[in-house]
Amino acid sequence: MIDLKYIEKNFDEAANRLKKKGIDLSILDEIKELFLQLKEAKKAYEDKRAEQKSLSKEFGVYKAQGKDISELKSKLDDLKSEITLLEQTSKEIEDKLWQKALIIPNFPDDSVPEGENEDDNVEIKRVLEPKEFSFKPKEHWELAQINNWIDFERGVKLAKSRFSLLKNEAAKLERALINFFLDYNASKGFLEVTPPILNNSKMLQGTGQLPKFEEDLFKIEGEDLYLIPTAEVPLTNIFNDEILLESELPMLLTAATPCFRKEAGSAGRDTRGIIRQHQFDKVEMVAITKPEQSDEIFNMMVDTASELLTKLKLPHRLVELCGGDLGFSAARTIDLEVWLPGQNQYREISSVSTTKDFQARRAKIRYKDGKKNQLVHTLNGSALAVGRTLVAIMENYQNEDGTIDIPEVLKPYLNR
């Protein structure tokens, strides 16, 4: 959540910063008007309070002197009602400001490049050269059929479209990948956690999924519970409304969870295969840091995701997202895109983002800096999306007859 006091004092500067994200700035005009209304309501409240204080003194004098106090008492009663009404008005305006602030995205970092969409993202570097095949590489859904690895039809039967059933070597590889990712993250200092995959609305508001992206969430009917879209939600909100000790930071957390997304607005995109599913497994990294630590931790998290792909010998590239393609909560994001020879293109497999103090302000996550309580910085990133890594292995390790080799680094996890 952006700082409302900052917007009030630096309105034009805030509007210019948000322009980079390409949002409709009319909401800032609405906030500006609410600030004016709140200022007027508070002034009227203070004026009435001053009048009440003056009349109360006069009331005391009259009463001590035995004078008629009925008229003064009537005025004081009226003032009390007016003051109560002004208090209520101020509270209602403050609530409106809070609700407006909840749907305003984070400010992009100054380093974020200008741009409207993914076409304007900036490639940072490429890691590993794509393999040259002596045959036309197949796409993963073709390989899945040849090897009997993924049952798309029965996944739909069991649930609906965009669900699939992994089996045989694919199911074993998924388990091996999860363990490999968690072990490597642990070697980098991340503490493994197994969180609930159902979270309440307060937690989803804390990390920015609610209220703006409710249509993309699976809600449990009759309960204030949602299936998590990413482990970023529970891992970050472990510390919701808590004050941490400075000595506890940075705090590095990792978890493997299923993730659930309605994929609202993605109709017609990636309808074949398992690139875009309603349910998928992902290993997540989350960091809770002091502000001065967050840039260093951000770079470490990007390196961790890249090193995992390198150990799997999967060619990939790092891409800096432009302002127009930046996520709601993100101040800066670097995507890692893995090479898929069957599709002949790079596809996103991880996003590493820093939200600065945006999520911390929403979730009230602070740390004690001497005598003061300061907002932490929160960061998150995939290390890695398991299904998409499986796709990348299938396509990059395929043979001409459709069989698929196993990456060396995974063989110990498969007892090979």
- Residues classed as catalytic: 261, 276, 348, 351, 388
Q: Beta strand 377-385 with 279-289: parallel, antiparallel or unpaired?
A: antiparallel
391 pairs with which residues across the strands?
Answer: none
Residue type, 377: H
- Whether the link from the prior residue into 34 is cis, omega within 30° of 0, is no
Q: Where do we find the tokens 């995205």?
A: 105
The DSSP output letter for 398 is: B
CA distance 132 to 319: 23
Angle between helices 11-19 and 26-64 (to 10 degrees): 150
CA distance 310 to 412: 17
Residues with Cβ within 8 Å of 319's Cβ and at least 6 positions away in sequence, in order, are: 121, 122, 123, 124, 334, 335, 336, 337
Residue type for position 22: G
